[in-house]
Each structure stands twice: as C-alpha cells, then as structure tokens.
C-alpha cells in the first residue's frame, strides 16, 4: 500500500473510532440485518445464493467413499439425517478425551482421517469448508447455543481476552469495530456486530466461501497484525467466544456477507 493510501485509511479509522459516537448495549444482531436488500434476497433464495454450490460439493464429499470404503454417510445417513442439528448448533464443544474445545470443522477433520482413513485436509481448505458448510447448513434455523461455563469457561475467557486485545500497527481490537461501533459507517461499509451465525459464508468481496478463522485473519490483516494459523488454539478459543456472542441467533449457513 502506498504511503498516502495508508495515511487515508488511518484517518478514516480514526474518524470512525474517535468521532462517531458508539452504540452500546446492543442485542445480538445477525450480519444479515446489515446487508442491502439485494444481498438479503440473494441469501434467502437457495437458487440465487452462491454459497449453495458449496453445500452441493460438501454433500458429494459427504457421500464419497474414503480409503477404507466408508463414507460420512455410512454413519450419518445419505443426507446427514442422522446428525443432531441441535448438537451442531453447540459447536465449538469441549472434548473430554482431548481436554480442550473442538470446532465443527475440527470434528469433521477427525472423522475424515480416523474414520475414513483419508489424508488430512488443511484447515479452511476448500474441501474442509465444503463439508463444514454442508453439515452446518443442516442446522440452518437452529439457534446458536455455545456453552460458556463448565470446562469451556477458561477457553471462553481466553477468546474474550483475544477479542478485546489491541493488535497490529493500527492498535485495533475486534471489539472496537464490532461492539463499540457496530452499525456505524466506515467508508462505504456498515460495521456489523461480527456475528458468526452465517459462517462459513459466501463473501461478495472475494467471491468464495470463507471460513471463520480465515475471516479472523482478514481482520488481522486490516489491523496490520501478524496472522495466526487457522485451527490454532488461539483461534479456536476466539471461535468459542465469537460464536457464543451469537447465542440465540439462528444459523444461516451459508450466509452472504460483504
């Protein structure tokens, strides 16, 4: 980025963060509410929603035989009808065997390798995202219900701390945009609450399905902060906290977002 462009961006951020009055105490509000009408209509219509192609690709992977001849459908039904959609809405969940939280995508990775004997997939790779979109789409309409107490509490606290910690050359944090200034304008865009109930989501900005951890890194890039590895312990903890912020919102995957 050229120096003059960098200066302009920083001035715009300062204008938003220190001139515009903050919005406080807001109830959870889906990113859908911040979309323009045309984008809402795109999400609402499965024939128009470009994210539905990932659902179809995920369904094909779900039914495909692994190296041992089994498939996800062998256990969960051809259309995933044996999966508990209420449980899907609870992810990330605490794994007693691992002693830490597991995201929905991590659970998919485990089944992919341990139950089907397939080669591991990279976190937020296209195949992993397609499977996650397919599975989470089964729970569309279910209300997000992430546990915030019990064994998940220390990880929730860790995620909350990350969410509120300033980082990068711009000294920004997640909460500055998505809590203090949700609903305010930054350039031509409206800042949302940063809810994750539509993720993995199709982003109009880059024309593809985006995983939540990749979206976190997108924000870190805007902070000019060092990116983290998708699937890392810090990002899993951050997902615990971010998903819990949307408790009570309906799952919209695949959502359409900016």
Helix/strand/coil percent split, the chain, to 5: 45, 10, 45
> Six-digit token pair at 120?
């591991």
d(Cα 212, Cα 207) in Å, to the nearest integer? Answer: 15
* The pair of three-digit structure tokens given for residue 169, joined into one six-digit string: 């050359």
Q: Which of 111, 174, 177, 219 is catalytic?
A: 219
DSSP secondary structure string for all residues of 101-140: EE-HHHHHHHIIIIIT-PPPPPTT-HHHHHHHHHHHHHTT
Strands 189-190 and 185-186: antiparallel
Q: Locate 180 and state its tokens.
A: 């203090």
Judge whether 72 counts as a catalytic residue.
no
Provide the annotated active-site residues: 219
């Amino acid at each position: 980025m050229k120096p003059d462009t960098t200066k302009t961006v920083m001035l715009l951020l300062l204008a938003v963060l220190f001139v515009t009055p903050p919005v406080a105490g807001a109830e959870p509000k889906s990113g859908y509410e911040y979309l323009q009408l045309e984008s809402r209509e795109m999400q609402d219509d499965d024939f128009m929603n470009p994210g539905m192609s990932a659902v179809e690709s995920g369904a094909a992977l779900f039914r495909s035989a692994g190296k041992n001849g089994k498939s996800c459908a062998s256990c969960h039904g051809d259309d995933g009808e044996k999966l508990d959609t209420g449980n899907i809405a609870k992810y990330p969940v605490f794994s007693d065997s691992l002693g830490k939280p597991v995201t929905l995508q991590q659970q998919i990775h485990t089944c992919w390798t341990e139950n089907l004997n397939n080669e591991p997939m990279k976190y937020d790779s296209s195949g992993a995202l397609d499977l996650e979109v397919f599975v989470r789409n089964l729970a569309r309409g279910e209300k997000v219900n992430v546990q915030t107490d019990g064994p998940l509490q220390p990880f929730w606290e860790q995620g909350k701390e990350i969410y509120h910690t300033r980082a990068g050359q711009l000294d920004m944090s997640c909460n500055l945009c998505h809590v203090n200034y949700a609903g305010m304008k930054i350039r031509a865009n409206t800042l949302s609450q940063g809810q994750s109930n539509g993720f993995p989501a199709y982003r109009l900005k880059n024309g593809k399905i985006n995983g939540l951890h990749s979206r976190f890194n997108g924000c870190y890039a805007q902070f000019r902060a060092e990116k983290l590895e998708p699937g890392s312990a810090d990002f899993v903890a951050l997902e615990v906290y971010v998903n819990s912020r949307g408790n009570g919102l309906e799952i919209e995957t695949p959502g359409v977002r900016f």
